[in-house]
Amino acid sequence: MKRDLSLLRDHQFDAVVVGGGIHGATVFRQLAAAGLKIALIERNDFGSGTSANSLKILHSGLRYLQHLNFHRIRESIRSRKLFMAMAPHLIKPMPCIMPTYGLGLQGRPVMAIALTLFDLVGCDRNQGAPPANRAGRGRILSRRECLAIGPGIKAEGLTGAALWYDDMIVNTERMTLAFIKAAMRHDAVCANYLQADRIIIADREVRGVEVSDRLGNTAFAINAPLVINAAGPWLGEIQRRSRQLPTTEDLAKAVNIVVDRALFPGYGVGLAGSTDYVDRDAAFKRGKRLYFFAPWQNRTIIGTTYKYTAGQDTATIVTDEDIVEILREVNTIYPMARLTMEDVIFSHAGLVPAYRPTGSVRHSAAPQMVKHSKIIDHTRQDGIKGLLTIEGVKYTTAPAIAREVEQLLAAGGSADGTAAVGPRPHGFADRRLVEAYGRRFRHIEQVYGPDCVEIFRIIAADERSACYLRLDPPLLAAEVINAVREEMAVKLSDVVLRRTDSGTTGCPDRHDLRAIAGVMAGELGWDEPRIEREIAEVLAHYAGNLGLKRREENRESR
């Protein structure tokens, strides 16, 4: 997977996907597997937009029972199978609980019915899954069992808890990349740091995309009669530049924090917040906004809060106010946590589609989030032939949406979409490599799954690449070399944040960054000033994901 713009420049494709988030990546793979000559362009790095900022939960679909939305439950189940077929090593079933109180919607009887109904609707969810990925059945826990998981859960009126299984995507960045790499095995072409400036339309028909290279000074056209706009929160920006209609939805800023504490080891926990929330799509509309605690790498990701952004503003800066708001809520609903700013090691913020608020409501009310992903066919909507827009609302359902795009284009393909997905089986030579190195470098198979052989090949060719650049989490020089040679990493941030596990839970120190940059310099011919620039860029990224107070503390300690 090499970045070679000559493969895109003035070439004729069947389709171009704009945006390398999870929706772009899944549709790219789906259409490549269906035999289309397809290209994908991403203006930053693959998976660096909203898709890098999530609770990392593959929703089982249970929550959609409150909307009585069986279509969406089935969509989640279909997607889960596709994710599982693509990268089973990146998915871990996660037991989740929600405490039960009284006899209302949050009571044991209602929850018991919901769990039974969900088990019926999702009876095939483990079909074809390897044993490690099988999700258990939902059940009701006793009060004692619930308090054993969360001793600080409000005990007054507590009757027990509903337990069900969602899945944790251990590394969403590598999951997004897995779909892109799978498309490349079908001779698709892609490039990161290549921006779509304008969709070329003549006589109300799409002709391609004008693009500019953000790493050089070139601009050129990619020709295709079909463009799929999967630019996430930036969809409208491209449409406006292409003189299309702006999207009808507004955006809301969504924020999670990562704390350096395992609050509920091994369990996801949903606790009702203190603020009222009206869900206009739910069968039972009024309730409390839910806070979810997801266990991740001995830490906890907590979220999500939502706020309207100003107009179509696409900036996502996490402020002290955002962090303090989450800490205050968590300490109210789970006082035992006693979280402070010092516990926060990182935050995630992204923009998600929300219903457009009316006038005065904009800044005061909790945003109403859009619940359904949409595929807009502009032939029908605006009479422009050859333009599809994907407005995705969940990481979870992206593969199912990609299948719908394929069906819309009547491009054929496998019956359930999973047949062409799965990881490549290892050949004899690859199996020998796994035998030779798998046990010695255990983390490699866990992080890279079947792609581990790419790294073992590098080690076999040069044992010096088996040296550790970091120990916790472990990182070999061969992983960095592989990221550059096989996974189109062109910046230090690509390797630290998205190709390897080295920076996913916090900023590596300067010494480690320098070691990683040193290996990249050997591959890419960087000089000393370039290395310094790359390190500064990574440090700035982490600083931007902490509140102002922590940013200042970090600056002082550096």
| 256 contacts ligand FAD (rule: CB under 6 A) | yes
Kindly tell me which residue out of 238, 327, 333, 513 binds ligand FAD, with binding defined by CB under 6 A: 238
| 254 contacts ligand FAD (rule: CB under 6 A) | yes
Output the smallest distance, CB 529 to ligand FAD, in A.
26
End-to-end CA distance of the chain: 36
Helix (H, G, I), strand (E, B) or coil at 196: strand
Cis check for the bond before 473: say yes or no (omega within 30 of 0): yes
Residue whose entry in the numeric block shows the structure tokens 């960095």 = 480
Indicate the DSSP class of residue 462: -
Contact characters 342-381, ligand FAD, x per CB under 6 A: ------x-x-x-----------------------------
Number of amino acids touching ligand FAD (CB under 6 A): 42
Q: Which residues contact 296 (CB under 8 A, 6 or more apart)?
A: 56, 168, 170, 258, 505
Output the smallest distance, CB 29 to ligand FAD, in A.
13
Q: What share of the chain is helix, strand, coil (3-state, %, to 5)?
A: 40, 25, 35
| 21 contacts ligand FAD (rule: CB under 6 A) | yes
Contact characters 40-79, ligand FAD, x per CB under 6 A: -xxxx---xxxx-xxxxx-x--------------------
**Candidate ranges 87-95, 129-137, 227-235, 334-342; the one touching ligand FAD (CB under 6 A):** 227-235
State which H helix or E strand residue 289 sits in: strand 286-296
Nearer to ligand FAD, 391 or 486 (CB): 391
| 303 contacts ligand FAD (rule: CB under 6 A) | yes
| 232 contacts ligand FAD (rule: CB under 6 A) | yes
Specify whether the CB–CB gap between 232 and 392 falls below 8 A.
yes
User: Could you give the CA distance from residue 222 to residue 198 in angstroms, rounded to a whole number?
Assistant: 11
Nearer to ligand FAD, 266 or 425 (CB): 266
User: Could you give the CA distance from residue 146 to residue 96 in angstroms, rounded to a whole number?
Assistant: 11
Kindly tell me which residue out of 304, 309, 418, 502 binds ligand FAD, with binding defined by CB under 6 A: 304
User: Could you give the CA distance from residue 325 to residue 538 in angstroms, rounded to a whole number?
Assistant: 27
Residue whose entry in the numeric block shows the structure tokens 């997801």 = 294
User: Could you give the CA distance from residue 260 to residue 459 in angstroms, rounded to a whole number?
Assistant: 34
| 296 contacts ligand FAD (rule: CB under 6 A) | no
Nearer to ligand FAD, 373 or 500 (CB): 373
In this chain, which residue has its C-beta nearest to ligand FAD?
A: 21
Q: Which residues bind ligand FAD (CB under 6 A)?
A: 18-24, 41-44, 48-51, 53-57, 59, 195-196, 230-234, 238, 254-256, 303-304, 348, 350, 352, 392-396
